[in-house]
């Protein structure tokens, strides 16, 4: 039964069993007068004040103390029957006051299942990974994807989704980059913010995470991310700031790592000062699973809820918090604030007014949503001699490697969504966390065959490069699928694993009409690049990834993804040649010096150093061509507006992403020559044009003054560049901007 039909049925039942209108009204009024916080006409602040005033101390303590939602071997833990088995977390409700439980599920690509659970996996729709959605540069798609997974969360019985990963990709080898929004604060903040808004459109709270500077997985529970205040505010913090303004996430999840030697979840600077004071954040801070390290220190620094306490060395917020309140090391006002923040978000995001209930999910409709995202995420990196799109004249096609005969790869760890219909390949990867390696059963090969019924498509698993090269030589076109599995808790190398470079090299040498399809969570090196005709970055493409890849390869979809992360030509170009900390000693304290690059993350570092990347931030080809003209700038009321015309100068319809970069003409103390200041995804028929107008957020013209706590714009001349990537800048304009100072509390106009 479809969701719409369910709705109709539920309505009919309600009508036949309904009380007469006057009686129902009287009953509701009595309920509201007994529980005045249930009056939806009051705002979330008023409702939270009213309910907290009625809570006993133990009820407040209930709200701030989280349980795991799944069975655990070590420590032995069986969750309450009321928890959703296999889930990430559960916080009991307070039935006396009508406070619903908080049922928490991971994460950013859909409803995940915890591996500790002995219960069957939930099979749910998976979006492409976060970095893939960022590669669409299309906030509307991110919103739609968020709305879809948020509805699956709600219809699976959850009201809190642990999504919204927005850590900047400072370290291209970070094993969790695939969950995040890339390396630029504007792009990441907009894309992840749009996804959070989508999730929360379902009367569901979404987190934003992992606050902050959670830049690598090596030593993730102990590493200290060391950085100065201004550099952090102009980079990693700014991504959070943009997303929070855009989406008002109900909760912020503090990170595992330390910041300047203090754990994120007991870091007064991070939680109280930046988040709650400077940005006036009104939601609550929950710890990451195992991220709480103290009672009074954490509570006083601004942590509002200890998550899944069994992951911590001991429970910190249960009985120990009660004791800390009794001995005065935590004030009553602080506990009241914690309870108030949690209930405020629950009111603001509909958790009281719209109780969750499990409902059937329309997986067919949702497959279309994830496929649209995956299609726009695919980045055509190289296409020499028109190898792509595949034409019907290719009679023999070789498909090689990466289980492309049966499915598409996904990223691993707590965000893992288990496929509808089961895993395409079983028994891969680590037995414990962050395994298994999961392939969604959506075969690129079958999707290609369906679109080329006349072609003979032969599959080789790629384990024997010589045999694969022989097949390649005998084929009109070759499609090699290469992959780099990425997963929470481990970083990876820029070099493709399992001898795949040698495989691609051999195949490319045998047939230059070779297309490489990469399934990675971030950049990899491509020593074979000159030997192949085309390269496509498909990321981890989600439930319908095979269809999406085939549609792009065959030209049914014109590729329009753009890189949200720089692909380096070598590790020598990075701020750190190797990753700090020792993966063999995860409990040892270690440091990573982010002051090396400061706010110059990704392309900004490459621009500052003059390094030539393998593929630049913002890069992506199309089967069409686009021209830019009429670049104009204007400054009104202190705001810089940039407008220009985009024309599809090619023969096929397609989407393009014109990008505006801004930089000061004279040294204004910026971290890099220029910053991304605006972008727009446009959809144009051949020959068609559109005019785009973008207003630049003034913080992108400013540097942060930590002492005065102001964003300072230096008056003077700025260069505005319009282009197709950070390294493909065409038209330039000069604009004079007046000096200005903005308060630390500055918010983008809504």
Active site residues: 288
Q: How many helices (H) and strands (E) does the chain have?
A: 19, 31
Task: Assess contact for 521 and 169: CB atoms under 8 A.
Answer: no
Q: Which of 147, 162, 468, 477 binds ligand BGC (CB under 6 A)?
A: 162
State the minimum distance, in angstroms, from the CB of residue 190 to ligand BGC. 21
The two tokens of residue 275 are 């988040």
CB of 650 to ligand BGC, least distance (A): 42
How far apart are CB 258 and ligand BGC at their closest, in Å? Answer: 15
In whole angstroms, give the CA distance from residue 729 to residue 564.
Answer: 16
Per-residue interface string for the shown chain with ligand BGC, residues 400-439, x marking contact by CB under 6 A: --------------x-------------------------
Does 211 sit near ligand BGC (CB under 6 A)?
no
Residue 595 contacts residue 226 (beta carbons within 8 Å): yes
* List of residues 6+ apart from 461 with CB closer than 8 A: 400, 401, 403, 405
Please, which residue, 86 or 193, has the CB nearer to ligand BGC? 86
How far apart CA 238 and CA 556 sit, in angstroms, is 37
Q: How many residues bind ligand BGC (CB under 6 A)?
A: 8
User: C-alpha distances in angstroms, 159 versus 152, 343, 345, 349?
Assistant: 10, 13, 11, 9
Q: According to CB under 6 A, which one of 289, 617, 628, 670 is a site residue for ligand BGC?
A: 289
671 binds ligand BGC (CB under 6 A): no
Helix (H) or strand (E) holding 286: strand 284-287
Helix orientation angle between 332-348 and 44-54, rounded to the nearest 10 degrees: 130
Q: Which is nearer to ligand BGC, 269 or 433 (CB)?
A: 433
State in angstroms the smallest separation of the CB of 66 from ligand BGC.
Answer: 10
Tell me if 417 sits within 8 A of 439, measured CB to CB. no
The residue at minimum Cβ distance from ligand BGC is 414
Give yes or no for residue 171 binding ligand BGC (CB under 6 A). no
Instruction: Give yes or no for a contact between 662 and 702, defined as CB atoms under 8 angstroms apart.
Output: no
* CA Rg value for the chain: 26
Helix, strand, coil in percent for the chain, rounding step 5 = 30, 20, 45
* Sequence-distant (≥ 6) Cβ neighbours of residue 292 within 8 angstroms: 265, 266, 298, 303, 306, 307, 309, 312, 316, 317
Please, which residue, 180 or 623, has the CB nearer to ligand BGC? 180
Closest separation in Å from C-beta 499 to ligand BGC: 31
Burial group, residue 579, by CB count within 10 angstroms (0-12, 13-18, 19+) = buried
Per the CB < 8 A criterion, the answer to whether 714 and 668 are in contact is yes
Nearer to ligand BGC, 209 or 258 (CB): 209
Asked if residue 649 lies in contact with residue 630, where contact means CB atoms within 8 angstroms, the answer is no
User: Minimum Å distance from CB 249 to ligand BGC?
Assistant: 13
Token duo for residue 346: 């629950």
Give the C-alpha separation, 427 to 429, whole Å. 7
> C-beta of 253: minimal distance to ligand BGC in Å?
6
Tokens 């990347």 map to which residue?
Answer: 613
DSSP 381: E
Residue 180 or 603: which CB sits closer to ligand BGC? 180
Q: Which is nearer to ligand BGC, 107 or 657 (CB)?
A: 107
Q: Which residues of 451-471 are buried (b: 16+ CB within 10 A; e: fewer)?
A: bbeebebebbebeebeebbbb
Verify binding: residue 106, ligand BGC, rule CB under 6 A. Answer: yes
- Determine, following the binding rule CB under 6 A, whether residue 107 of this chain makes contact with ligand BGC: yes
* Nearer to ligand BGC among residue 70 and residue 725 (C-beta): 70
Least distance between ligand BGC and beta carbon 313 (Å): 15
Given candidates 152, 155, 184, 288, which one binds ligand BGC under the rule CB under 6 A?
288
User: Phi first, then psi: what are they for 355, rounded to 5°?
Assistant: -60, 145
88 contacts ligand BGC (rule: CB under 6 A): yes
Residue 113 binding ligand BGC, by CB under 6 A:
no
Q: Based on CB atoms, which residue is closest to ligand BGC, 172 or 412? A: 412
Nearest to 238 by CA among 189, 295, 204, 292: 189
Please report how close the Cβ of residue 107 comes to ligand BGC at its closest, in angstroms. Answer: 6
Largest CA distance in the chain: 81
- H or E segment and range at residue 7: helix 3-17
Q: How far is the CB of 414 from ligand BGC (least distance, A)?
A: 4
Where does this chain bind ligand BGC (CB under 6 A)? 88, 106-107, 162, 209, 288-289, 414
């Amino acid at each position: 039964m479809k969701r719409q039909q369910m709705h109709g049925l539920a309505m009919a039942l309600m009508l036949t069993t309904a009380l007469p209108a006057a009686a129902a009204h009287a009953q509701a009024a009595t309920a509201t007068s007994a529980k005045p916080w249930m009056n939806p006409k009051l705002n979330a602040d008023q409702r939270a004040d009213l309910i907290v005033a009625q809570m006993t101390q133990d009820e407040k303590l209930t709200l701030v103390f989280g349980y795991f939602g799944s069975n655990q071997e070590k420590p032995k833990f069986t969750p309450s029957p009321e928890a959703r088995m296999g889930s990430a977390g559960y916080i009991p409700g307070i039935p006396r006051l009508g406070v619903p439980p908080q049922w928490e599920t991971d994460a950013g690509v859909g409803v995940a299942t915890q591996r500790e659970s002995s219960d069957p996996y939930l099979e749910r729709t998976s979006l492409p990974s976060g970095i893939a959605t960022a590669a669409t540069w299309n906030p509307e798609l991110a919103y739609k994807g968020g709305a879809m997974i948020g509805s699956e969360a709600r219809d699976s019985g959850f009201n809190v989704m642990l999504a919204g990963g927005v850590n900047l990709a400072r370290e291209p080898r970070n094993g969790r980059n695939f969950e995040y929004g890339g390396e630029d604060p504007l792009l990441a903040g907009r894309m992840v913010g749009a996804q959070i808004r989508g999730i929360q459109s379902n009367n569901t709270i979404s987190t934003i995470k992992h606050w902050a500077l959670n830049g690598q997985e090596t030593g993730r529970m102990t590493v200290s991310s060391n950085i100065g205040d201004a550099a952090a505010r102009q980079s990693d913090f700014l991504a959070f700031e943009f997303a929070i303004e855009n989406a008002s996430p109900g909760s912020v999840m503090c990170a595992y790592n330390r910041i300047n030697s203090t754990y994120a979840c007991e870091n007064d600077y991070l939680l109280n000062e930046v988040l709650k004071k400077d940005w006036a954040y009104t939601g609550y801070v929950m710890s990451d699973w195992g991220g709480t390290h103290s009672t009074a220190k954490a509570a006083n620094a601004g942590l509002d809820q200890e998550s899944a306490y069994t992951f911590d060395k001991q429970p910190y917020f249960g009985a120990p918090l009660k004791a800390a309140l009794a001995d005065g090391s935590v004030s009553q006002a602080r506990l009241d604030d914690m309870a108030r923040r949690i209930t405020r978000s629950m009111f603001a995001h509909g958790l009281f007014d719209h109780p969750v209930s499990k409902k059937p999910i329309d997986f067919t409709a949702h497959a279309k949503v994830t496929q649209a995202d995956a299609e726009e995420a695919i980045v055509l990196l190289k296409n020499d001699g028109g190898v792509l799109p595949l034409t019907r004249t290719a009679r023999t096609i070789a498909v090689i490697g990466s289980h492309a005969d049966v499915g598409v790869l996904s990223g691993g760890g707590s965000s893992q969504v288990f496929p509808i219909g089961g895993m395409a390949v079983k028994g891969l990867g680590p037995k414990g966390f962050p395994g298994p390696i999961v392939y969604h059963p959506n075969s690129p090969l079958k999707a290609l065959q369906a679109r080329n019924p006349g072609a003979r498509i032969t599959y080789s698993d790629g384990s024997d490069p010589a045999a694969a090269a022989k097949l390649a030589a005998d084929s009109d076109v070759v499609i090699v699928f290469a992959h780099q599995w990425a997963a929470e808790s481990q970083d990876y190398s820029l070099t493709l694993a399992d001898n795949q470079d040698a495989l691609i090299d051999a195949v490319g040498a045998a047939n230059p009409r070779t297309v490489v399809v990469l399934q990675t969570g971030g950049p990899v090196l491509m020593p074979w690049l000159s030997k192949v005709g085309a390269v496509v970055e498909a990321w981890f493409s989600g439930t319908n990834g095979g269809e999406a890849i085939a549609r792009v390869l065959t030209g049914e979809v014109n590729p329009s993804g753009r890189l949200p992360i720089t692909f380096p030509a070598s590790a020598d170009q990075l701020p750190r040649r190797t990753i700090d900390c020792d993966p063999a000693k995860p409990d040892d304290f270690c440091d990573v010096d982010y002051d090396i690059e400061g706010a110059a993350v990704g392309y900004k570092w490459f621009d500052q150093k003059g390094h030539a990347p393998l593929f630049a931030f913002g890069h992506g080809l199309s089967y069409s061509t686009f021209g830019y003209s009429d670049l104009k700038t204007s400054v009104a009321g202190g705001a810089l507006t940039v407008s220009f015309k985009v024309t599809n100068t090619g023969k096929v319809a397609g989407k393009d992403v014109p990008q505006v970069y801004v930089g000061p003409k004279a040294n204004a103390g910026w971290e890099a020559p220029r910053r991304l200041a605006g972008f727009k995804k446009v959809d144009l028929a051949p020959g068609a044009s559109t005019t785009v107008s973008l207003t630049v957020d003034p913080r992108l013209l400013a540097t942060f003054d930590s002492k005065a706590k102001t964003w300072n714009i230096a008056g003077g001349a700025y260069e505005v560049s319009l282009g197709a990537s950070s390294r493909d800048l065409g038209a330039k304009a000069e604009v004079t901007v007046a000096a200005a100072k903005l308060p630390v509390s500055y918010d983008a106009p809504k």
